[in-house]
Each structure stands twice: as structure tokens, then as C-alpha cells.
Amino acid sequence: MATEILMPALSPTMEEGTLAKWLVKEGDQVASGDVIAEIETDKATMEFEAVDEGVMGRILVPEGTEGVKVNAPIAVLVAEGEDAAAVPEAAPAADAAAEAAPAGSSETAAPPAQPITPVVPNEPDIPAGTEMKPTTVREALRDAMAEEMRADPTVFVMGEEVAEYQGAYKVTQGLLDEFGDKRVIDTPITEHGFAGLGVGAAFGGLKPIVEFMTFNFAMQAMDHIVNSAAKTLYMSGGQMGAPMVFRGPNGAAARVAAQHSQDYAAFYSSIPGLKVAMPYSAADAKGLLKTAIRDPNPVIFLENEILYGRSFDVPVMDDFTVPFGKARVWREGSDVTIVSFGIGMTYALEAADALAQDGIAAEVIDLRSLRPMDTGTVVQSVMKTNRCVTVEEGWPVASIGNHISAVLMQEAFDYLDAPVINCTGKDVPMPYAANLEKLALVTTAEVIKAVRAVTYR
């Protein structure tokens, strides 16, 4: 009996991959557990083991094929003695897989083929005519760290799996090779300990970059982030502080459930003494991280696993930085202001595209840093549009959206033609089930609905 071997899902966010190499040929005997192929996922090259035993009847997808969808048949295994030639050619992999996306895939996980570019290229930090290079957020973050480490020998990176493993999400890829184990340091699983140690190292004259494998685990270290890092400058009457960066992926990934899916944007933004940045694009990831490393204060730098693989244009410049407290207008419009940051921008921009087709012109603002926050740009925009919708992945109570609403009420009350609507994640822990997870997250449809509500259209 012939058994189809299907392209496996090998990571929570994988939807397609490259069949890098076949390690067996047609006619080879295969036992369960044998490595039959190497597959490149969004994160790594993985060995793919056979589950069933038999003889490799036919290889349907040749090695080197990119973009093979999860669950597409890639080979056919036959029983011993069975005629491999009798196995019919399968339909081309791409078609066969069309409806077979994994249950857990979030619609937003697939990296778009083209870099995402703003409609309004109003970046004042980039001189006109600068060459742009498509770069993933992951690469941009790595480049930022590498550049700052080259420039300042007191900058070092510390965290779980950052060195030899090249980063759990491959953000620190190559740093160990370039900077050695004095400056790229694997820690034991001791978040409270190494966060505190990082604070001490900062007091002692170094500039630590502390990576949390994800920000969910920074909760173990919360005391040092808040009580030690954020407050010491004040408590010492300005004598000493903690110039350092706490960084890592934040927010929901895909199907990793309640303890691993939480957006800490509002959490950290409420703490005086901390600065908080949360980039969306690769250029901002790079420019803001460089600013964060140079900043003389503790900076919480919130990244996103789903954004890591997305590609954006990044300016090719010797020293490109993005200042804190300066929002970026991605799209101009006169009917409504949509304010977002981080992965929320995905929904904001998708909604703006869809609304434009119905003649509603949305102005989309990416806050980029949350503390300090560029509320001035938001207020200016709302004075023009008279309506505002905020978008974030975090919970609704005491959210960033709540804060913006309060600012608008105080500073632009007379300009508002409708109450501000906050689009947020639902007020529940993140469920695992695919259908519930989808409901728990904020969606583009919800943003569109909110815009229609505030514009009465």
C-alpha cells in the first residue's frame, strides 16, 4: 500500500518551507525514525524523520524547491516488493496544498513576497535618494546590535540560547562568531538572576542587552526591571542609573496558549523610569534598537515573533537611528485617524486599504515608541480627521488605547465628532484552540467596523 509523505509543519508559525535536501533516493529502504530530508522552515533547517517504514517509491518534490506548502505530498512510500513505478504522479504540490493550511496558522504569519512600504514616504530621518534594501525584521535587529557592538566595546548581549544556539528565534545569529563569548553570553534559565545581574553590570559601567527568550519569561524578572532598573536613577538623586536594553519577542505567536501569548505594551508603559519601544517595520526595528542601546536609561524593547520574518525596506546608511517619541505617519487621510504600533499596524494598514476602496480615507499612525509617546502627532491628526480608532493586541482594560483616548479627551475634546474606539485583544487569557484563538485576537474586520462606527458610514 502506498503512503503519501506530506510536507510537515515544523514550527508554530510555519506555513510553507523549502525542501532543502533529500537524504534518500527512490528505491531506498526507509525505517521509521530515519532522516529522509532536510527542510528549511521560517526559523531553521530541520531534519525530517520518516514515520512509516517502506521503500521510497517516488519523490514528488525535487530538492531545492521553495515555497512548498505544509501538507503538500512530497513523496510516496510503498511497501516492500510493491512496484514504485505504478505509483501515479501526484498533482503539483502547490495545488494539492491549497486548502491544507495547518489549523493553527494565523492569517498574518506568512511573510509577504514584497517588502511592505508605506504610502507616505515621509521619513525625515532618511535623506532623499538613500538606497533602500529589503530586510527582514530579524536581520534588522541583528544588524542594529552588531553595529552598536562594533562601535561601543561596553555593549554586550546576554540571555538564554543567544550564543551557541544562535538565538531561540535566530535574532542573535552570527553575533557569537563576530564578537566572541565574552560579549555574547549564554545564561542558565534564571531570568530573575540574569536580569538583576544585567542591572548590576549597567551600574558598573557596561551597556547590557538582556534578551528574554520571550517577554512572557520576563515576568520572572519583573522585580529587577521595575524596582532595580527603572527606579535607581531617581532613588540615587541622579547619581547612577541602568543604561540597558531588555529585548525579546512580545505578544501572541501562533497557538502557544495563555502562558506564552501576552502583550506587555501597556504593562511596561505605565512605569516611570522605563522607556518602551515597539517597532513594526524593519527600518524602525533597526533604528529604534540602536537608539535604545545608546540611551542612558533602561529600555523595554518589544519585538514580535510573527513580524520577525517580514521584509521591509531598510535604508542603507552608516548610522541610521530613529528617535524615541516620534510617531510615523504611514498613510495620510482626512476621514479618520487609526493609531497603532507593533503588529497592530498589520491590522491598521489592512483596514485602511480596505476602507480606501469604499472611499474612506484613513490616516494611519505608527507610534513606534510608547514611552515617550508622540501624542502630539495623534492630536494633530485628530484635529484634522475628528475621529480616532486605536488598534493593539493587548487587553482592553488599562490599555494603550485607553491612554490615547484620555489624552484626546483632554487635548482635542472639541475636535472629536465621535467617541474614540479602542480595538484590542479580548479580555480573556489566550486560548489554545484555533477557532478561539482567532476570536481572541484583534482583527482587521474589527478595525474596519470601528472606523465605520466613528465615521457613521
Partner 1 sequence: MAARKTTKKPNVSKDELLHYYREMLMIRRFEEKAGQLYGMGLIGGFCHLYIGQEAVVVGLEAAANEGDKRVTSYRDHGHMLACGMDPKGVMAELTGREGGYSKGKGGSMHMFSKDRHFYGGHGIVAAQVPIGAGLAFADRYLDNGRVTFTYFGDGAANQGQVYETYNMAKIWDLPVVFVIENNQYAMGTSVKRATKSPSLWERGAAYGIPGEEVDGMDVLAVKEAGDKAVAHCRAGKGPYILEIKTYRYRGHSMSDPAKYRTREEVQKMREERDPIEGVRQILLTGNHATEDELKGIDKEIKEIVNAAAEFSKESPEPALDELWTDIYAEAG
Ligand X SMILES: Cc1ncc(C[n+]2csc(CCOP(=O)(O)OP(=O)(O)O)c2C)c(N)n1
Residue 245 CA from chain centroid, whole number: 17
**63 included as an active-site residue:** no
Contact code string over 247-286 relative to partner 1, x by CB under 8 A: ------xxxxxxxx--------------------------
Least separation in angstroms between residue 167's CB and partner 1 is: 10
90 interacts with partner 1 by CB under 8 A: no
Angle between the N-to-C axes of helices 282-294 and 137-151, in degrees from 0 to 180, rounded to the nearest 10: 30
Q: Nearest CA to 359 among 333, 394, 329?
A: 333
Residue 173 or 380: which CB sits closer to ligand X? 173
- Binding part of the chain for ligand X, among 147-155, 199-207, 213-221, 314-322 by CB under 6 A, reads 213-221
Give the total residue count for the chain. Answer: 457
Q: Cell numbers of 401, please?
A: 488605547
CB of 29 to partner 1, least distance (A): 17
Cβ 390 vs Cβ 422: under 8 Å: yes
- Residue 191 designated active-site: yes
Span 182-241, contacts to partner 1 by CB under 8 A:
186, 188-190, 192-193, 216-217, 219-220
**What's the CA gap between 119 and 273, in Å, rounded?**
35
Based on the shown chain and the rule CB under 6 A, indicate whether residue 195 belongs to the binding site for ligand X: no
Let me know: does 280 contact 308? Beta carbons within 8 Å. Answer: no
Q: Which residues, listed in sequence order, are joined to residue 73 by a DSSP beta bridge?
A: 6
Reported as half-sphere exposure (CB side, CA atoms, 13 A), residue 231 has a value of: 9
Task: Indicate whether 43 belongs to the interface with partner 1 (CB under 8 A).
Answer: yes
Q: Which is nearer to ligand X, 217 or 324 (CB)?
A: 217
341: burial class by Cβ within 10 Å (0-12, 13-18, 19+)?
buried
Contacting ligand X (CB under 6 A), which of 5, 144, 155, 213?
213
Reduce the DSSP state of residue 415 to 3 states and report it: helix
Closest CA to 244 of 203, 302, 186: 203
Phi and psi at 149, nearest 5°, equal: -70, -35
Of residues 28, 47, 107, 358, which one binds partner 1 by CB under 8 A?
A: 47
CA 318 to chain centre: 25
The residue number with the shortest CB distance to ligand X is 217
Q: Which does 234 bind (CB under 5 to 8 A by kind): ligand X, partner 1, none?
A: none
- 398 near partner 1, rule: CB under 8 A: no
Min dist. Cβ of residue 36 to partner 1 (A): 12
- Please, are residues 94 and 112 in contact by the beta-carbon 8 Å criterion? no
CB distance 405 to 415 below 8 Å: no
189 binds ligand X (CB under 6 A): yes
CB atoms within 10 A of CB 208: 29
- Residue 211 in the binding site for ligand X (CB under 6 A): no
Q: Is 442 in the site for partner 1 (CB under 8 A)?
A: no
Does the protein bind ligand X through residue 91 (CB under 6 A)? no
Pick the stretch among 262-270, 324-332, 351-359, 434-442 that binds partner 1 (CB under 8 A): 434-442
Residue 233 interacting partner from ligand X, partner 1, none (CB closer than 5 to 8 Å by kind): none
227 binding ligand X? (CB under 6 A): no
CA atoms within 13 A on the CB side of 335: 17
- Nearest to residue 41, comparing CAs of 62, 14, 70? 14
The grid coordinates of residue 1 equal 500500500
In the set 16, 123, 139, 260, the catalytic residue is: 260
> Among the options 191, 211, 305, 446, which is catalytic?
191
Q: Counting contacts by CB under 8 A, is residue 103 touching partner 1?
A: yes
The Cβ of residue 43 has, within 10 Å, a number of other Cβ atoms equal to 20
**Under 8 Å CB-to-CB from 13, ≥6 apart: which residues?**
42, 43, 105, 106, 109, 253, 254, 305, 306, 309
Give the range of 63-71, 125-133, 212-220, 399-407 binding ligand X by CB under 6 A.
212-220
Select the binding partner of residue 350 from ligand X, partner 1, none (C-beta < 5 to 8 A, by kind).
none
Q: By CB under 8 A, is residue 104 in contact with partner 1?
A: yes
Strands (E), 28-79: 29-30, 35-40, 45-49, 54-59, 65-69, 73-78
Q: Which is nearer to ligand X, 84 or 219 (CB)?
A: 219
- CA gap 53, 48 in Å, rounded: 14
Residue 411: count other Cβ atoms within 10 Å of its Cβ.
15
Chain CA centroid to CA 390, Å:
19
Within 158-187, the residues that bind ligand X by CB under 6 A are 160
The residue count for binding partner 1 (CB under 8 A) is: 59
Window 161-190: residues binding partner 1 (CB under 8 A): 161, 164-165, 168, 186, 188-190
Q: Which residues bind ligand X (CB under 6 A)?
A: 160, 189, 191, 213, 217, 220
Q: Which residues bind partner 1 (CB under 8 A)?
A: 6, 8-12, 14, 32, 35, 41, 43-47, 51, 70-71, 100-105, 160-161, 164-165, 168, 186, 188-190, 192-193, 216-217, 219-220, 253-260, 426-429, 431-436, 439-440
User: Which positions are annotated as active-site residues?
Assistant: 191, 260
